[in-house]
Amino acid sequence: MRFRGREIAHQVIGRDFLERIQKDLEEHGIVEQMPSFEGRQMIMVMAPKK
């Protein structure tokens, strides 16, 4: 997820959104890397269930 301009002030909303994606996709995959901030991007890595 990329934050632009003043969106960077609302990091909590971005984290909540990624957690909602995680809940919606938990039957199809697992989280390999929890959400983390790198510059202006918040990154979460998911992988399919085996």
Query: Whole domain around residue 14: which residue ranges?
Result: 5-48
Look up the CATH number of the domain holding residue 24: 3.30.110.10
> Measured between alpha carbons, how far is 20 from 12 in angstroms, rounded to an integer?
12
Q: Which amino acid is present at 46?
A: M
For residue 7, give the 3-state DSSP assignment: helix
The residue-averaged pLDDT of 12-23 equals 94
Query: Could you tell me the pTM of the whole model?
Result: 0.81
> For the segment 5-15, what is each residue's pLDDT rounded down to a tens digit?
999 999 999 99
Band (50; pLDDT cuts 50, 70, 90) = confident
SS (H, E, C) 8-39: HHHHHHHHHHHHHHHHHHCCCEEEEEEEEEEC
Q: How many domains does the chain contain in total?
A: 1
